[in-house]
Amino acid sequence: MKVAILAGGYGTRLAEETTVRPKPMVEIGGHPVLWHIMMHYAHYGYDDFTIALGYQSEYIKQYMLDHYVTEGSLHIDTKERTAVTLDPPQNEWNIHLIETGLKTNTGGRIKRLQPYLNNDTFMLTWGDGVSNVNLDDLLRFHRSHGKLATMTVVQPPPRFGHVKISDTGMVSGFVEKPQARDLWVNGAFFVLEPGIFDYIEGDETQWEKSPMQNLARDGQLMAYHHHSFWQCMDTIHDKALLEKLWKEGNAEWALWKHKKQDDELCVS
C-alpha cells in the first residue's frame, strides 16, 4: 500500500530550525523526523512512500541519496563512471520524491500526488508528527466502514494549566495541564480512497478546510480514536520534548526500536 507524506510546507512556527532546512528534516536523536515517520510505517510493512516536496526540497532529496543510495561501502569504477553499493541496504523501501510546488496548499499537494498512487487505497500523514498508532488496526477500521476517508483523532497533550476562579473573581486553585477527556483533534494518519480527489479543487485548496468539511457533510469521513502517544513538532519546545524522550529511552513512537530490543532479548 502506498504511503503519502506531505513534506513541502514552510514550517514557520519552527523558524529556529526551518530557516536552514525543511521542517521534516529537523532531527530527533540524530535522524530527521521524516525518517522517524517512515520507520513507523515500515514497522508495519508499509514501505512504499510517495513524498510531496516543496520548500527546500533539495535537502530531502540529498538526504535520501546520501542515506539510502550511498550508505555503506562503495565500489567506484572511474573508467565506467559507475558507483555500486557493496553492503545490503538497511531498509528496503520504495521512495518517490515528487515536486508539488513551493506555495501549493495541503490539498493541492495531495492532488498532485494522484498520478503516483495507483488509483487505490492509500495512507497519508504529515511530515512533522510522530505517534505509535497501530497502522494495521487503522487500516482494518477503514476497511470495515466502507467510507472514503478515515482520520486518526487524538487527545493532544495539554500546553497550559487551568486556573480555578470563583464567581466573585477569587482564584481558588490551579489544575496543572489537565487532559480534556472530550476533546479530540485531527492527528493526521489518514487512510483514503481515490474518491477523495473529487473533493480537491486545485493548488490553493487546504485539505483541512473544504475537502474534509465536505467529506464530513456527505457522511464519508470516519474517525479512528487513538488513545496512546501522539506528538506534533510545531515549535522548538515540541522538538526539545521529543529529543528528551528519545535520549531517555522513552520514545513511545519508536516501535521499530522496541522490536529490535525484544528480538535481542529473545536471542539472549
Mean pLDDT, residues 102-127: 98
Position 170 scores a pLDDT of: 65
Position 266 scores a pLDDT of: 45
* Dist CA 55 CA 135 (whole Å): 28
DSSP assignment of 130-194? EE---HHHHHHHHHHH--SEEEEEE-PPP-S-EEEE-TTS-EEEEE-S---TT--EE---EEE-G
The two beta strands, 149-154 and 221-225, are: parallel
Between the CA atoms of 124, 213, 113 and 187, what dihedral angle is there, to the nearest 10 degrees? -20
Locate 171 and state its grid cell. 482564584
Position 43 scores a pLDDT of: 98
122 CB neighbour count, 10 Å cutoff: 24
Q: What's the DSSP call for residue 67?
A: I
The two beta strands, 149-154 and 190-192, are: antiparallel
| Per-residue model confidence as pLDDT tens digits over 21-39 | 899 999 999 999 999 999 9
Q: In this structure, which amino acid lies at residue 125?
A: T
User: pLDDT-based confidence at 205, cuts 50/70/90?
Assistant: very high
| Per-residue model confidence as pLDDT tens digits over 138-165 | 999 999 999 999 999 999 877 656 666 7
To the nearest whole number, what is the mean pLDDT of the chain?
A: 89
pLDDT over threshold 70, residue 172: no
Position 169 scores a pLDDT of: 66
Domains present along the chain, CATH in parentheses:
2-155+183-267 (3.90.550.10)
| Per-residue model confidence as pLDDT tens digits over 60-92 | 999 998 887 777 888 899 999 888 888 888 889
Mean pLDDT, residues 166-188: 73
* Dist CA 181 CA 160 (whole Å): 15
